[in-house]
Amino acid sequence: MTTILSIQSSVAYGHVGNSAATFPLMRVGCEVWPVLTVHFSNNTSYPSKKGPLLRPEDVHDVVEGIDELGVLPRVDAVLTGYQGAPAMGAEILKVVELVKERNPQAVYCCDPVMGDVGRGMYVLPGIPEFVRDNVVAAADILTPNHYELNFLTGREAATLDEVIEAAHALREVGPDVVLVTSVVTEEADPDTVTMVAVNSEGAWSVTTPLLGRNFTGSGDLTSSMFLAALLESGSVADAVGRTADVVYSVLERTTMLDQRELALVAAQDDLVNPRHHFEVARVR
C-alpha cells in the first residue's frame, strides 16, 4: 500500500491543504499521515478565520514522534503545498531529508503554492524566493500552475512549446517530473484549460473545458491525485490523464451543486471512477 506523508495546512470547515488531500488520497487507496502546518476554522478566502498557525518546531516534533515509532521507512512520498513562511519551508526540507534517509526510494512532491493569474503573489514575502532558490532543487515532482512556472523560471511562457521549455528548465534544477496546471496559451481555445506533464521521456498535455469559476483547494486536490496516480502507474502520461479526469469530474460536480467548497464527499465516486474522460496527447 502506498504511504504518503502530507505536510500541509488544515481547515475545520471546507477543503484546502490536507483537508483537500487526505480524504481523496485515502479514497483512492493510499495510506496518508497528515502533518499540519496550520489549523484554521476555514480557508483565507473568507472575510475572517480563526485558529493556530503552527510552528516549525511543532512539525519537527510530530515527525520526530513518527520516526521514533520506526515507521518512516514505510513512507513512499512526502507531499507539501502552502508552506506558510520560509522557516516552515526550511523545516519541511529537513523532514524530506530525514524521510529519504529512512527510505532512499521515497520521493518528494511539492506543489509550490505562491500565486495565480489575476491575484498575483498571495503568500508572505520571502516564500516565492525561498521556493525558487531552495525547494525546487529538492523536489522530485513539482506541480506549479502557469503563473508559478513563469516566476520560478523567470520566463513568460505564452505558447505550449514555451511552457514545455520552461518545465524542462525546472527539471534541470532538480525535479524529474514537472506538472504544469492551469495552462492557458495563445493558441488555445479560450474556453479550455490545459495541464502539461514533462519528464525525461517527453511531454504530454490534456485539455478540459473551462468551468468559469475559481475553486479553492483545486490545486491541492490536483497535486495529490497526480502523485497517487504516478506512484501507482509509474507513467507520467497515465497520471496526467487520470488527474484531469478526476479533478474535472469533482469540479463539475461542485459546480452542479453550486457549492463554494469542493464537493469531495458528494463526488467521492468520481475520485475512483470519474464520470468524465479526456484524451492525453503527446506533445514532445
pLDDT in tens, 257-276: 999 999 999 999 999 999 99
Query: Buried (b) or exposed (e) across 183-206, using 16+ Cβ within 10 A?
Result: bbbeebeeeebbbbbbbeeebbbb
pLDDT given at position 124 = 85
- pLDDT over 90 (residue 218): yes
Q: Residue 125's CB: how many other CB atoms inside 10 A?
A: 9
The helix or strand, by DSSP H or E, that contains position 55, with its residue range, turns out to be none
Grade residue 184 by pLDDT with cuts at 50, 70 and 90: very high
What pLDDT does 32 receive?
98
- Judged by average pLDDT, the poorest of 81-85, 111-115, 180-184, 243-247 is 81-85
The Cα–Cα gap between 129 and 245 comes to: 33
Alpha-carbon distance of 148 to 16, in angstroms, equals: 18
The model's confidence at residue 227, banded by pLDDT at 50, 70 and 90, is very high
Given a cut of 90, is residue 70 above it in pLDDT? yes
194/124 Cα distance (integer angstroms): 28
Task: Give residue 119's pLDDT.
Answer: 84
All cell numbers assigned to 234: 509509474
Specify whether the backbone of 68 is left (phi greater than 0), alpha (psi in -120 to 50) or beta. alpha
Summarize the confidence of residues 230-256 as an average pLDDT: 98
Q: How many CA atoms lie within 13 A of 171 on its CB side?
A: 18
Residues paired with 77 in a beta bridge: 4, 107
Q: Return mean pLDDT, the chain.
A: 96
Q: Percent of the chain having pLDDT more than 70?
A: 100
- What's the pLDDT band for 248 if we cut at 50, 70, 90? very high
Residue 212 predicted with pLDDT over 90 = no
**Per-residue pLDDT at 81:** 94
Please give the pLDDT value at position 21.
Answer: 98
Mean pLDDT of 181-193: 93
**Binning pLDDT at 50, 70 and 90, where does residue 117 land?**
confident
Distance CA 63, CA 76 (A): 15
Q: Would you tell me the crossing angle of helices 218-233 and 236-256 to the nearest 10 degrees?
A: 150
Query: Facing residues of 78 across strands?
Result: 5, 108
Dump pLDDT digits (tens) for 13-28. Answer: 999 999 999 999 999 9
Residue 222 has pLDDT above 90, yes or no: yes
pTM: 0.97
Beta bridge partners of 142: 110, 178
pLDDT recorded at residue 139: 98
Please report which helix (H) or strand (E) contains residue 241, including its range.
Answer: helix 236-256
Hey, what amino acid is at 92?
Answer: I
The pLDDT-based confidence of 120 (bands split at 50, 70, 90) is confident
Mean pLDDT, range 246-261, rounded to an integer: 98
